[in-house]
């Protein structure tokens, strides 16, 4: 059995299952939940106010983790969706309350608005409910690396397509999200854990994969141009942690499709984690440095039964 290079434990059984009646949990989880206080956590593309938001998973993550700095990298509240149709269930309010509570309890919370919550950019360089608002931010890891933090919508212009193709793409994505919800409704009835159909399909469509790679290289180019050691962004709902052209590219994913976050451990090590019905590490820095090419993440990586 392969071993996890970061922990020295077998990779085949690294998940912790939420209590779920009728589904057998892994016998001996090899990696405990994120119980130690983290240096930093990055979240983006939560899309509170949209029907696709997996607020229950995010709330569990927020209640289960502690960190010195919480970075919110855009599209936290989906003002576009709220304008189309008002939707604000109690679970979405609970997530917002928990974030505000963390700020009040001493966690430094930095909010970098995205394109779906662009109105918040009007209050950049100010504090609101103990939350710092900025158009971009810089984070220095415990081992001294400087990371540029941006949402990523500023790179939309590099992914060129016609207005018709953009319309088709948006319509296809909306359909894919609806199918994602339907598929996971069936999986829940079968007592199976959450699985991202949207992530699976998106990375098997050639044009979509090419657009993602163009975006990634544009983000890395911007970080290099400005003298940073890496970049952390969101926007494209594509969790990733890998080295591109000798710079670290991190995308913390989203809470509509993949339910992922980027975390920094006490020593400065970065890790991408999935937090759905199963909670598990997806990719660590050592893996990111070793893999120059894109590798499809397993969301989630299911333990052998």
CA end-to-end span of the chain: 15
Per-residue model confidence (pLDDT) at position 170: 59
Q: How many CA atoms, within 13 angstroms, populate the side-chain half-sphere of residue 275? A: 26
Q: What is the pLDDT of residues 35-93, one digit of tens each?
A: 789 999 999 999 999 999 999 999 999 999 999 999 999 999 999 999 999 999 999 99
75: left (phi over 0), alpha (psi -120 to 50) or beta: left
Q: What is the pLDDT of residues 211-257, one digit of tens each?
A: 889 999 999 999 999 999 999 999 999 999 999 999 999 999 999 98
Task: Compute the average pLDDT of residues 99-108.
Answer: 97
295 has pLDDT over 60: yes
Nearest to 256 by CA among 116, 103, 113, 108: 116
Does the reported pTM lie above 0.85? no
**Average pLDDT along the chain:** 82
The lowest-confidence range among 64-68, 96-100, 145-149, 172-176 is 172-176
To which H or E segment does residue 173 belong?
helix 163-189
By residue count, the chain amounts to 305
Find out whether 21 and 47 touch, Cβ atoms under 8 Å. no
Percentage of the chain lying above the pLDDT 70 cut: 76
- Retrieve residue 240's tokens: 């990733």
């Amino acid at each position: 059995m392969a071993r996890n290079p970061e922990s020295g434990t077998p990779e085949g059984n690294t998940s912790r299952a939420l209590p779920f009646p009728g589904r057998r949990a892994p016998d001996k989880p090899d990696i405990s939940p994120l119980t130690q206080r983290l240096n930093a956590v990055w979240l983006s593309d939560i899309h509170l106010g949209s029907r696709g938001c997996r607020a229950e998973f995010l709330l569990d993550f927020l209640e289960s983790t502690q960190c010195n700095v919480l970075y919110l990298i855009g599209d936290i509240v989906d003002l576009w969706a709220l304008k189309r149709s008002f939707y604000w269930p109690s679970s979405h309010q609970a997530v917002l309350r928990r974030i505000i509570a963390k700020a009040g309890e001493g966690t430094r919370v930095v909010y970098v608005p995205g394109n779906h919550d662009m109105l918040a950019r009007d209050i950049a360089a100010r504090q609101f409910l103990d939350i710092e608002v900025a158009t971009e931010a810089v984070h220095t890891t415990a081992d001294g690396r400087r990371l540029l933090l941006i949402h990523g919508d500023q790179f939309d212009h590099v992914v060129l397509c016609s207005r018709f193709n953009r319309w088709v793409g948006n319509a296809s994505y909306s359909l894919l999200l609806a199918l994602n919800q339907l598929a996971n409704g069936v999986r829940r009835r079968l007592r199976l854990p959450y699985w991202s159909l949207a992530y699976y399909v998106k990375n098997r469509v050639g044009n979509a994969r090419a657009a993602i790679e163009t975006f990634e290289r544009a983000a890395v180019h911007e970080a290099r141009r400005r003298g940073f050691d890496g970049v952390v962004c969101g926007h494209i709902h594509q969790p990733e942690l890998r080295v591109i052209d000798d710079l670290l590219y991190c995308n913390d994913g989203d809470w509509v499709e993949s339910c992922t976050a980027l975390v920094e451990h006490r020593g400065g090590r970065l890790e991408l984690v999935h937090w759905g019905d199963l909670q598990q590490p997806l990719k660590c820095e050592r893996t990111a440095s070793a893999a120059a090419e894109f590798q499809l993440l397993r969301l989630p990586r299911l333990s052998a039964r």
